[in-house]
Structure 1
Amino acid sequence: MAAVDPAAPAESHRPDHRQVLARIRAEQPRYQRGDRRVADAVLANPAAVIHLTISDLAAEAGTASSTVVRFCQRLGLRGFHDLKLAIARELGADTVVEPRIGSADGPMEVLAKIIASDAEALRDVTSTLDGVRLETAVTRLHEASRVLVVGVGTSAPLAQDFAYRLMTIGMHADAYPDAHVQHVAARLLGPSDVCLAVSHTGSTRETVAAVEAARHVRATTIAVTSFARSPLTAVVDTALVAGSRETSFRIEAMASRIAHLSVLDAMFVSLALRRPAAASAALELTGGVLAEHRF
Structure 2
Amino acid sequence: MTNIDIFSLIHSRYNSFTNTEKKVADYILENTKDVIYMSITDLADACNVGESSVFRFCKTMNLKGYQEFKIVLAHSISQEEETPQLTGKITMQDTIGELSSKILSTNISALTETFNLINEKDISNAIDSMIAADRVHFFGVGASLMTAMEAKNKFMRITNKTECSIDTHLQIMSAALMTEKDVAVLISYSGSTKDTIEVAKVAKERGAKIISITRFAKSPLTSYSDITLLCGANEGPLQGGSLSAKISQLYLLDLLYVEYFKRTNKESILNKESTANAVIEKML
Deviation (angstroms), 1:76: 1.6
Q: Is residue 103 from structure 1 mapped to residue 89 from structure 2 by the alignment?
A: no
Give the distance between the partners of 1:168 and 1:253, measured in 2 at CA. 27
Q: Is the 8 A contact 1:226 1:247 kept in 2?
A: no
Deviation (angstroms), 1:107: 2.7
Question: Does the C-alpha gap of structure 1 residues 25 and 151 become closer, same or farther in structure 2, counting only changes over 3 Å?
Answer: same
For the residue of structure 2 that corresponds to 1:234, the secondary structure is helix
Q: Is the 8 A contact 1:152 1:207 kept in 2?
A: yes
Give the distance between the partners of 1:71 and 1:104, measured in 2 at CA. 36
Give the distance between the partners of 1:164 and 1:251, measured in 2 at CA. 23
Question: Does the C-alpha gap of structure 1 residues 283 and 44 become closer, same or farther in structure 2, counting only changes over 3 Å?
Answer: same
Deviates more, 1:214-223 or 1:164-173: 164-173
Alignment of 1:104-253 (within 5 A): 104-244=93-233, 246-249=234-237, 250-253=239-242
* Fraction of identical pairs, as percent: 26
Deviates more, 1:60-69 or 1:231-240: 60-69
Question: Does the C-alpha gap of structure 1 residues 247 and 99 become closer, same or farther in structure 2, counting only changes over 3 Å?
Answer: closer
Alignment of 1:69-84 (within 5 A): 69-84=55-70
Question: Does the C-alpha gap of structure 1 residues 161 and 99 become closer, same or farther in structure 2, counting only changes over 3 Å?
Answer: closer
- Structure 1 runs not aligned, ≥5 long: 1-14
Greater relative contact order (Cα < 8 A, sep 6+): 2
Show the counterpart of 2:250: 261
**How many residues align structurally?**
280
Give the distance between the partners of 1:184 and 1:79, measured in 2 at CA. 27
Deviation (angstroms), 1:160: 1.0
Deviation (angstroms), 1:29: 1.9
Give the distance between the partners of 1:285 and 1:16, measured in 2 at CA. 52
For the residue of structure 1 that corresponds to 2:78, the secondary structure is coil
Deviation (angstroms), 1:37: 2.4
Alignment of 1:29-68 (within 5 A): 29-68=15-54
- Structure 2 runs not aligned, ≥5 long: none
Residues 228-270 of structure 1 deviation map (CA, whole Å, 9 limit, x = unaligned): 11111121010001222x2322223221110110110010111
Letter in 1 for 2:169: H
Q: Is residue 18 from structure 1 mapped to residue 4 from structure 2 by the alignment?
A: yes
Which of structures 1 and 2 has the bigger CA Rg? 1
- Correspondent of 2:78 among 85, 88, 92: 92
Aligned structure 1 segments of 4 or more residues deviating by more than 6 angstroms: none
Give the distance between the partners of 1:282 and 1:31, measured in 2 at CA. 61
Residues 44-94 of structure 1 deviation map (CA, whole Å, 9 limit, x = unaligned): 222221111111111112222122122212212111111111112112269
Deviation (angstroms), 1:17: 4.9
Give the distance between the partners of 1:109 and 1:41, measured in 2 at CA. 34
TM-score relative to the length of structure 2:
0.93
Give the distance between the partners of 2:122 and 2:166, measured in 1 at CA. 27
Give the distance between the partners of 1:253 and 1:135, measured in 2 at CA. 28
